[in-house]
Amino acid sequence: MRCLWRPLFSASNTSRRFSASSHCLVTLRPYQESCLETCLDALKKGATRIGVSLPTGAGKTTVFISLLSKLAAPAHAPEASRALVIVNSVELAQQTADQARRLFPDWSVEIEQGKHHASGLADLTVATFQTLLRAQRLEKFRAQYLKALIVDEAHHAAAPSYRRILSHFDAGIKNPDEDFEPPELSHKIPILGFSATFSRHDGLALGSVFEEIVYHRDFLEMIKEQWLCNVRFTTVRANIDLSEVTVNSRTGDFNPTSLAHVVTTDTVNELIVRTWLDKAADRKSTLIFCVNLSHVSRVTAAFRAAGIDARYLHSHTPAAERKALVAAFKAGEYPVLVNCAVLTEGADIPNIDCVMVARPTRSRNIFAQMIGRGMRLSPTTGKEDCRIIDFVDSYDRVGGVVSAPTLFGLDPAELSDDETIESLEERRAAVEEGDGIDTPKYGPSGPVPQPKSVTYIDHDDPFVLADQASGDPNIRTMTRNGWVCCGDDVYVLECLGKGYIRVAPAEGDHGDAKYVAHYTSPTMHQATAFMLKISPFRRSKKILTATTLADAIRGCDTYAQKEVLPGQVGLGLLRTAKWRWEPASESQKQFIIKRWKARKVIAAADGEGRSRPATEEGLKDLRKGEAANIITRLKHGAQARYEKIKKERLRTVLAVEKEKARKAREVVKVGPLAA
């Protein structure tokens, strides 16, 4: 069926062949027509840089080629009758050119890539961005003759390499080179981006290129409406531990080299083959995604050792060999094709009926791209559905790993087998009707979940007051004396000028004891020691060890009462001693003020303010007991410990915020894009 479209813009002198009256030799699907109408409406309203998000298999190429046929040159620039499509691979360049020729046989279509040199005069030119980075290849495409520019796989467009090209066609796109001078353009050239994953997980803002996303369809919607094939999910628990795999600070995903050390093992490779034999041996065309070249080679070898005809390709596979491998795979000549980061984008192989994700990822985009390779409809091959098999960490200790359950908001620890979209959504609905969350289950080796938020109560702040100074609320049930927590499970009892007793976690050879206590007695009055600038204390001596903190504290209380401050004088150690309620001395205040000013201020996302500001005004109501507790904490290292804790907390908060931002970037929705 042929469809005849009207031009968006009137133009009397548009190219005879590449005009809006060209005949389209395809019947568009309803959502494709809706997408075209949305794009045209946005352009009519004055937008010139717009994005479209359509999942793999939705026919993005057909949509943007059809859109080009609807666009005509603006009235004030009738010579602008050509179009340029920028792609990121040789395969995509050829596929796009072939599709354009099929849809519009009367167009002149050329390819600018490597050894293929376009004239720059064709109705439509398809070029790889790598080739256009060469000035002599780019300059043949004069902006004054272009009516539109398409960026396929447009989530790459914010990269400096793409902006170096696009800035030649729109002054609003900043070229990363400082000495670049924007060209004077005779007219605004619509720059239209199309992608299955219109977002970036590395933080580069797509808003630096595109003004807004005008159309978005999710692959789940497409499957439900039967524009993509049905899928069946199987999640396999593999003998891998991802907790030691490093994460790229820029992208938030696993570093391939580090990940390969964990997943490239004979045990895991054997599991992949066994899983395929159990779950997918009846499948005609299985595509497997691996981490790196070594992983690709070893997985392929494992399949061949089991008598299965498996072949592989990677970035270093020669173009002719790659083309032959893909063609043979499309023809069903062998059942398993193993690859690494080659067929993640732009691979049009409809007969794929099984996808195995043998490389864990924290990127929803990458996961969606991988499984999307198998979602195209292929009625001519008898394909009914596609089985998606992914492998998860056997320890469940790393948060953020994307798997089939997590796409539906389910606990990744809940394994799935032969699940459909309907069954997974039913599980999610059951969770939402229950307690509202799907509680993750973590293994006995110790979970490392990603927290959703962080809230702190700062008992470790050395400047908190007396009612908080114990640091551990339970210590009040162990003793009546004024023990002070100095952080890291260290407790100190000041003995009214007679030295101090310190309880700390046992280190070294202390048998079964978990705590050890020392008493340090004075050699001279503290004021004299201060004048002489020497320590007023002797070397400490061990007085006891204990298996619990309560036993240690009680034993030390007995020691203090009998050996340090016997009789009535020992009552001064009590938390309720009368002296603690008297106004703080001037020397106490000055000591606190001096240390307050010397502290390292660390900003924290949860805010500060529970400690009293150490100023003359802030300390005017300070009591002696409160001041003594603060001074004890400061003298016994609480400040350094607290600053270390705050730094760790800040790092945790920033990591949580960074992870939230990374996940937010992977959410695609219609609307303006942030620059």
pLDDT for position 539: 76
pLDDT for position 413: 64
Split at pLDDT 50, 70, 90, the class of 24 is low
Look up residue 22 and give its DSSP letter: P
Flag the least confident range among 262-266, 426-430, 506-510: 426-430
Residue in this structure with the two tokens 């695609």, named with its chain if needed:
668
Split at pLDDT 50, 70, 90, the class of 448 is very low
pLDDT for position 441: 39
Two tokens at 524? 């001279």
pLDDT for position 32: 95
Cβ atoms of 421 and 220 closer than 8 Å = yes
Looking at per-residue pLDDT, the higher value among 80 and 426 belongs to 80
Chain-centre distance for alpha carbon 646: 24
**Cα–Cα–Cα angle for 539, 542, 544, nearest 5°?**
160
pLDDT for position 15: 40
Split at pLDDT 50, 70, 90, the class of 23 is low
Q: DSSP letter string over 145-161?
A: GEEEEEEESGGGTTSHH
pLDDT in tens, 654-671: 877 777 776 776 677 787
Instruction: Please give the mean pLDDT across all residues of the chain.
Output: 82
pLDDT in tens, 244-268: 899 888 778 899 999 999 999 999 9
CB atoms within 10 A of CB 585: 13
Split at pLDDT 50, 70, 90, the class of 329 is very high
Residue type at 661?
A
Cβ atoms of 355 and 374 closer than 8 Å = yes
CA atoms within 13 A on the CB side of 238: 29
Flag the least confident range among 141-155, 307-321, 419-433: 419-433
Two tokens at 83? 């179009």
Edge to edge, what strands does the sheet with 212-216 contain? 109-112, 124-128, 82-87, 146-152, 191-195, 49-53, 212-216, 671-672
pLDDT for position 365: 82
Average the pLDDT over 2-12 and give the result.
Answer: 37
By three-state DSSP, how is residue 235 classified? strand
pLDDT for position 342: 85
Alpha-carbon distance of 360 to 467, in angstroms, equals: 49
Split at pLDDT 50, 70, 90, the class of 5 is very low
Two tokens at 396? 């469940």
The pLDDT of residue 603 is above 50? no
Cβ atoms of 544 and 517 closer than 8 Å = yes
Look up residue 174 and give its DSSP letter: P
pLDDT for position 415: 64
Flag the least confident range among 33-47, 52-66, 230-244: 230-244
The pLDDT of residue 433 is above 80? no
Residues 6+ apart with CB under 8 A from 619: 584, 589, 592, 593, 612, 627
Tell me the whole-structure pTM to 2 decimals.
0.66
pLDDT for position 275: 94
The 10 Å CB-count burial string (b at 16+, else e) for 341-357 is bbbbbbbbbbbbbbbbb
Alpha-carbon distance of 552 to 142, in angstroms, equals: 83
The pLDDT of residue 442 is above 60? no
Average the pLDDT over 472-486 and give the result.
Answer: 84
The pLDDT of residue 579 is above 90? yes
Alpha-carbon distance of 138 to 46, in angstroms, equals: 27
CB atoms within 10 A of CB 68: 27
Split at pLDDT 50, 70, 90, the class of 461 is low
pLDDT for position 350: 92
Alpha-carbon distance of 405 to 394, in angstroms, equals: 15
pLDDT for position 13: 37
Alpha-carbon distance of 353 to 390, in angstroms, equals: 14
Q: DSSP letter string over 249-263?
A: TTT-SBPHHHHHHHH
**18 sits in which H/E element:** none
The pLDDT of residue 4 is above 70? no
pLDDT for position 647: 83
By three-state DSSP, how is residue 231 classified? strand
pLDDT for position 102: 94
CB atoms within 10 A of CB 200: 21
Q: Residue 402 class from Cβ within 10 Å (0-12 exposed, 13-18 middle, 19+ buried)?
A: buried
Kind of pairing, strands 109-112 and 541-546?
unpaired
Alpha-carbon distance of 343 to 322, in angstroms, equals: 11
Split at pLDDT 50, 70, 90, the class of 458 is very low
The pLDDT of residue 544 is above 80? yes
Residue type at 60?
K
Angle between helices 293-305 and 256-263 (to 10 degrees): 20
**463 sits in which H/E element:** none
Cβ atoms of 176 and 163 closer than 8 Å = yes
**494 sits in which H/E element:** strand 491-494
pLDDT for position 424: 81
pLDDT for position 619: 79
Average the pLDDT over 76-86 and give the result.
Answer: 93
Sign, CA torsion 349/352/358/364: positive
pLDDT for position 22: 55
Looking at per-residue pLDDT, the higher value among 456 and 403 belongs to 403
Two tokens at 459? 């008992």
Edge to edge, what strands does the sheet with 286-289 contain? 230-238, 385-393, 354-357, 286-289, 336-339, 310-313
Kind of pairing, strands 310-313 and 336-339?
parallel
pLDDT for position 241: 84
Alpha-carbon distance of 484 to 491, in angstroms, equals: 5
pLDDT for position 50: 93
Cβ atoms of 262 and 240 closer than 8 Å = yes
pLDDT for position 525: 63
Beta-bridged to residue 111, according to DSSP, are: 126
Flag the least confident range among 183-187, 297-301, 408-412: 408-412
The pLDDT of residue 572 is above 90? yes
Residue in this structure with the two tokens 């193993």, named with its chain if needed:
338
Residues 6+ apart with CB under 8 A from 223: 229, 230, 231, 375, 421
Two tokens at 222? 């497409």
Alpha-carbon distance of 358 to 302, in angstroms, equals: 13
Residue in this structure with the two tokens 């390499």, named with its chain if needed:
161
